[in-house]
Amino acid sequence: MITKTDSVWFTTKGQVVIPAWLRKQFHIEDGTKAVVQATPEGILIAERKRKFLSITSSTPSAASASPKAAA
């Protein structure tokens, strides 16, 4: 891959305009989700590849955890 650089600018709302050639190369369309991370080198913007779900665990009830006694 050839490394190419381009300038971007921030709006007063903090929005960043990604150059058209990068949007095309990475298939970025309206509504494409991304994640932003602070790194020692600067700001990293990366495609969000999967949904992040909030998962809660619950402990099974005593009745479902113990085997039924034979009658």
Strand partners, 33: none
Structurally, the chain folds into a number of domains equal to 1
Nearest Cα to 26, choosing from 53, 54, 52, 45? 45
pLDDT at site 40: 93
40 inside domain: yes
CA 36 centroid distance within chain: 8
What's the domain range around 32? 1-50
pLDDT at site 47: 84
Helix H or strand E segment including 24? helix 20-25
pLDDT at site 71: 47
30 inside domain: yes
pLDDT at 29 over 80: yes
Provide the CATH number for the domain around residue 42: 2.10.260.10
pLDDT, tens digit, 9 for 90 and up, residues 36-56: 999 999 999 888 875 555 555
Q: What is the dihedral of CA 11, 20, 4, 12, to 10 degrees?
A: 0
Q: pTM score > 0.95 for this model? A: no
pLDDT, tens digit, 9 for 90 and up, residues 8-21: 989 999 998 899 99
